[in-house]
């Protein structure tokens, strides 16, 4: 199957050589909330995974499978370059569409560190490109802006909040979105989180979801994750499951 070949080929490239070095590792997966922290200058962090999403009645079930990778390159102490893409497969009954999609370039810019009651803040700006498979990609440039806030809650827990907007094709108005995530260290190398997220727009009904998951730090710079979520409103997908791997290397 073409999707499987593309995924395993990409995964083999991403996992070639894992020289790791010691420094705190924060990832933008598996939750929907982006951290307000940029990757260290002089490093490349790769965050990859697969997800399966289900929606609709059993007789006409919509299933979307995605194998995605986010590459984060630390160029300055307060600036990271971001490259994102996925191999997508949509299945509705006997109808299917596959291809490369969700290809985006962007940056994360650190604005402020946490100080007293003020949270850590960062701006994420991305542009989804009209490249990839005709049936799964946009056909024009689609911008996205996101403000990320992070606040520690004691020594082992933190709260993350994202507020942003993304633009659709043609005359479709911009759609706002939010995420709110509570994370905690469950053991020395294991973390967990619960999260609410959704979107609000004039052209579509609100879609709200909840999810949760775990991370497992196998080595200083190598992390596995597992998560699952459910829809809380009719416009949201019924449920999804996801698993992934993240690692950091110097360049």
In angstroms, rounded to a whole number, what is the distance separating the alpha carbons of residues 41 and 251? 10
Pairing state of beta strands 239-250 and 43-55?
A: antiparallel
Specify whether the CB–CB gap between 206 and 233 falls below 8 A.
Answer: yes
Distances in whole angstroms, Cα of residue 162 to Cα of each of 57, 72, 157, 170: 31, 18, 17, 26
Q: Higher-confidence residue: 85 or 139?
A: 85
pLDDT tens per residue, range 212-230: 999 999 998 999 999 999 9
Q: What is the pLDDT of residue 145?
A: 98
Residue 7 banded pLDDT, cuts 50, 70, 90 = very low
43, two tokens? 């490093």
Asked if 205 contacts 232 with a C-beta cutoff of 8 angstroms, the reply is no
Residue 204 is predicted with a pLDDT of 85
Indicate if the pLDDT at residue 92 is higher than 50: yes
Verdict on whether the full-model pTM lies above 0.95: no
* Alpha carbons 247 and 146: distance in angstroms, whole number: 24
As a whole number, mean pLDDT of residues 237-250 equals 96
What is the structure's pLDDT at 57?
83
Whether the Cβ atoms of residue 116 and residue 92 lie closer than 8 Å to each other = no
pLDDT value at residue 160? 98
Share of the chain above pLDDT 90, in %: 74
Which pLDDT value is given to residue 232? 98
pLDDT for residue 10 is more than 60: no
* pLDDT at 11 > cutoff 70: no
Closest CA to 143 of 180, 113, 169: 169
- For residues 68-96, one letter each, b for 16 or more C-beta atoms within 10 angstroms of the residue's C-beta and e for the rest, the string is bbbbbbbeeeebbbbebbbbbbbeeeeee
- What is the chain's mean pLDDT, rounded? 89
- Smallest CA-to-CA distance from 97 within 129, 70, 135, 46 is with 135
Domain map (residue ranges) of the chain = 2-250
Residue 44 has pLDDT above 60, yes or no: yes
pLDDT digits (tens, 9 = 90+) for 164-213: 999 988 888 899 999 999 999 999 899 999 999 999 988 789 999 999 99
Model confidence at 68: pLDDT above 90: yes
* CATH domain 2-250 topology: Porin (2.40.160)
Q: What is the mean pLDDT of residues 148-153?
A: 96
Has residue 119 got a pLDDT over 80?
yes
Least confident range of 17-31, 33-47, 54-68: 17-31
Whether the predicted pLDDT of 233 surpasses 70: yes
Closest CA to 98 of 3, 18, 23, 179: 3
On the question of pLDDT at 16 being above 70, the answer is no
């Amino acid at each position: 199957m073409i999707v499987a070949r593309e995924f395993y080929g990409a995964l083999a490239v991403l996992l070639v050589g894992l020289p790791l070095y010691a420094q705190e590792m924060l990832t933008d997966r598996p939750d929907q909330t982006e951290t307000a922290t940029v990757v260290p200058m002089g490093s490349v962090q790769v965050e990859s995974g697969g997800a399966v999403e289900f929606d609709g009645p059993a007789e006409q079930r919509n299933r979307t499978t995605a194998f995605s990778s986010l590459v984060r390159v630390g160029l300055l102490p307060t600036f990271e370059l971001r490259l994102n893409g996925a191999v997508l497969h949509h299945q509705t009954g006997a109808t299917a569409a596959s291809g490369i999609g969700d290809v985006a370039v962007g940056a994360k810019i650190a604005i402020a560190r946490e100080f007293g009651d003020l949270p850590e803040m960062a701006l994420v700006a991305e542009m989804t490109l009209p490249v990839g498979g005709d049936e799964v990609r946009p056909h024009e440039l689609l911008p996205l802006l996101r403000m990320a806030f992070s606040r520690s809650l004691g020594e082992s827990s933190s709260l993350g909040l994202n507020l942003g907007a993304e633009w659709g094709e043609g005359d479709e108005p911009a759609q706002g979105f939010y995420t709110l995530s509570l994370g905690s260290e469950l053991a020395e190398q294991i973390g967990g989180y619960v999260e609410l997220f959704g979107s609000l727009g004039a052209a579509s009904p609100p879609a709200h979801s909840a999810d949760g998951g775990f991370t497992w730090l196998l080595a200083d710079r190598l992390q596995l994750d597992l998560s699952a979520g459910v829809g809380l409103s009719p416009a949201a997908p019924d449920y999804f499951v996801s698993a992934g791997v993240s690692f950091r290397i110097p360049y």
